Chains A and B, each alone.
Chain A
Amino acid sequence: MKSDFRARNHPAYWAFIVHRASGVLLALFLPLHFWALGQALAGEAALESFLRWSDQPLVKFAETGLVLLLAAHLAGGARLLMLEFLAWRDWQKSLLAAAAAITLAAGLAFLLNIV
């Protein structure tokens, strides 16, 4: 038999879900990101017209999501590296809280600068 969500409902597992989802979404986004930067091959004007397209509120909203994903994957990944490579930490749930705080701070710093 397989266990259900009740077996998984604890902070380290939530952190795993965030890490995996953010990792997959960032990997899917990267080719688009590289494509957008590649517009500059056709000159400054081409890149500029892409950037003006990206001024739409919906795109800005999506960009905030991307910053959150990147910050979450960074902070969660730093936590994993600490758990794997430094001495075991009994305060690993506090480490998790710190990672969540860093993620939110980065997301807000981006969001408040673009609104």
Chain B
Amino acid sequence: MAASSTLAVSVWRGKESGRFQTFEVPRHESQTVLDVVTHIQRALDSTLSYRFSCRVGMCGSCAMNVNGRARWTCRTHVAEVAAGDRLEITPLANLPVIKDLVTDMTPFFDKWAKARGRFQGGRTRGHDFARVLPESRERRLADAAIECIGCGVCYSSCDVVTWNPDYLGPAALNRAWTLLNDVRDTDNRARLGAVAGDAGCHACHTHMNCTERCPMKLAPTASIAGLKRAAALAALKGELGDAVTK
């Protein structure tokens, strides 16, 4: 499988400003990019910082830019991406760099909160179960977007985030769309106000970087389009509030 015995790996060292350091890493069959980074940290330079947890594509911790594209390193085989036996690994874009390959995800998750990404129910434990038919339109729309694990690949790939740091980004908006389609949720009027306008869904230019790169094959662009329509309708009816967007 391995085309040659070693791989030249350029790894980002430092913070926002820094430099590339190149390592020679032996190639193995079925080697993932995360295996490569782990080899560097364990065998070549123990000061390298990176983040991972599950190693099987469930937790979303190990996303990095590999040869310029945001990916889960644990689910990316070296053979798929190593053009000419070279790899370039940098931290996710659009997020502050803490050190080397580790970014500060705080702005990313703060925007989930700002988009009112938390479920708000109207029932108590005294109530009976809510009945949501699996084949209902809302349930199917929520289903299509719900598998997001919050890895930040879309946020890192989105140009609108780069151009407008206030923009909520694909993941937070996708989350808002799933809740908008949750018939049990009682916070949707405020949520729609929070996700609309120039820093919300209406800033999206349908570049589809998010949809192109999402490792879960979700289509945040479609979710954002749904929010655009819902919020435009609410604005026309005079039902879109400003109160919650501080």
Q: Which residues of A contact B (CB under 8 A)?
A: 1-8, 10, 12-13, 16, 20, 80, 83-85, 88, 92
Q: Is the interface of B mostly helix, strand, loop or mixed?
A: mixed
Q: Is the CB of A84 within 8 A of B229?
A: yes
Q: Is the CB of A7 within 8 A of B70?
A: yes
Instruction: Say which residue of A4, A8, A20, A92 sits within 8 Å of B209 (CB atoms).
Output: A8
Given contacts A84-B229, A88-B219, contact A7 B90 (CB under 8 A): no
Q: Is the CB of B225 within 8 A of A84?
A: yes
Q: Is the interface of A mostly helix, strand, loop or mixed?
A: helix
Q: Is the CB of A16 within 8 A of B205?
A: yes
User: Does residue B222 face the partner (Cβ distance < 8 Å to A)?
Assistant: yes
Most chain B CB inside 10 Å of its own CB: which residue of A3, A6, A84, A92: A3
* Shortest Cβ distance from A1 into B: residue: B93
Give the distance to chain B from A25, nearest Cβ to Cβ, in Å: 17
Contact sample, A vs B, 13 pairs, CB 8 Å cutoff: A1-B90, A1-B93, A1-B97, A2-B162, A3-B69, A3-B156, A7-B70, A8-B159, A8-B209, A10-B208, A12-B208, A16-B206, A83-B206
Most chain B CB inside 10 Å of its own CB: which residue of A1, A3, A83: A1
* Shortest Cβ distance from A84 into B: residue: B225
Additional A-B contacts beyond A10-B208, A12-B206 (5; CB < 8 A): A3-B156, A3-B157, A5-B68, A13-B208, A85-B229
B contact residues around A20 at 8 Å (CB) = 205
* Shortest Cβ distance from A88 into B: residue: B222
Q: Is the CB of A3 within 8 A of B70?
A: yes
